[in-house]
Each structure stands twice: as structure tokens, then as C-alpha cells.
Amino acid sequence: MKKRKILKSVLYTFLALFLVGISFLGYMYYNYFGKFEVDTEKYQNYVGYINQDKAFLNSKYKLCDEGRIYKVHHGAPKDAFKGSKKRFKDYILSNYKNESYKDSGYLNFRFLVNCEGNAGWFEIIEMNLELEETKLNKKMVDQLLTLTSDSKNWAIYNYKNQPKNYYMYISYRIENGEITQILP
């Protein structure tokens, strides 16, 4: 009985050491042979980067924390909306006026919200319903930019009890000038 317990303990020890060794070898292999090299000439910026020199509404507010941006990989949809996403959607739909627009497509805004909850630095991407870049009605785009950038829509994001700048995006699906969906 005692031999069995010792044999079991030795077996578990060897199994644990084997798994640790395999994990270490996998980690080493990944770091030295398995990682893809990043083409820094082609991809000079991080995910979520917005060229602040070309962005719309880029001089109205200032970024805090030396311009450091949080939530760059996927935006901050859970933290961004002041109140809730439903409140934002209701605000947009009740204030948007279709002035005989006939456009259909997607209007995408990528932007930054500073540590005070002010939206700016907008990049605008306009596409048709087949997801090909196109130009949508300028008045409609301007109206949605004005509504989207309203600071009453955006919350202050805190990290470690400090307000921070963050990346956000909004995508409007438009059919015959009417907003049919707001993402995210």
C-alpha cells in the first residue's frame, strides 16, 4: 500500500515535470520560430489608430495623458455610452431628420473620446450596401457627424480611478435615407 502511494506520487511528479517541460518548449518555439514578423513599413500604427492631422473635429478638444488611447482593439462599447446604448440610439433616431435622402449604405465613424467625455478626431468611412467605398449625401453625413459627436452621448472612461482617452466606433446602416441599424 505504501509502495503504491510512493509510485503514484513519483508518477504525478514526472507527469507535472513533463507538462511543464512541454509548455516551456512550446513557448520557446513560438517566440523564436512561430511568431509572424510584423511589416513595420506597411503597418506603422496600432489597431484603432486615427491620423489626428486628417481627422474631422480634431482641434476642438485636447487629448489627456500625453495622447495615450485606451480600448484601441475593439473600442469601448460597454463603457462609452453615457446612460446606455439604447439612450444613444433613441437620441439619434429622434433627432435625425431624413431630408429626402435616397442614399443606402453604411456610414462608419471611427473616433476618439477624451478624458472629459468629448468626442473628436473622427475618421469617416462611407460604403454602399455591397461594402464598396462610395460617397453618401454630404448633408446626411454632416448631420450624423453632428449628432454622433455630441458630448452628451459619451461617458468618461476611468482606468485605475483616472479618466482616460478611448477609441470608439459607430456604424449606421442606411436604406433610402433612413437609419435601419446602429452598430455596435
Instruction: Write out pLDDT tens, residues 42-95.
Output: 656 655 666 666 766 666 778 888 777 777 666 666 778 888 889 999 999 999
Mean pLDDT in the chain? Answer: 85
pLDDT in tens, 133-168: 999 999 999 999 999 999 899 989 888 888 988 888
Contacts of 88 (CB under 8 A, 6+ apart): 81, 82, 153, 182
> Residue 50 in 3-state DSSP?
coil
On whether the CB atoms of residues 172 and 98 are closer than 8 A, the answer is no
**pLDDT grade for 33, boundaries at 50, 70 and 90:** confident
Backbone angles phi and psi of 123, in degrees to 5: -110, 130
Backbone angles phi and psi of 22, in degrees to 5: -65, -45
Contacts of 39 (CB under 8 A, 6+ apart): none
Residue type, 172: Y
Cα angle value 168/142/57 (rounded, 5°): 55
Q: Percentage of residues in the chain with pLDDT exceeding 70?
A: 84
> Residue 151 in 3-state DSSP?
helix
pLDDT at 29 over 80: yes
- pLDDT of 82: 86
Give Dmax over CA atoms of the chain in angstroms.
Answer: 88
- pLDDT of 90: 94
Q: Which residue has the cell 479618466?
A: 163
- pLDDT of 53: 67
Residue 91 per-residue DSSP state: H
| Mean pLDDT score, 14-29 | 89
- pLDDT of 167: 85
On whether the CB atoms of residues 119 and 154 are closer than 8 A, the answer is yes
pLDDT at 112 over 60: yes
The more confident residue out of 17 and 47 is 17
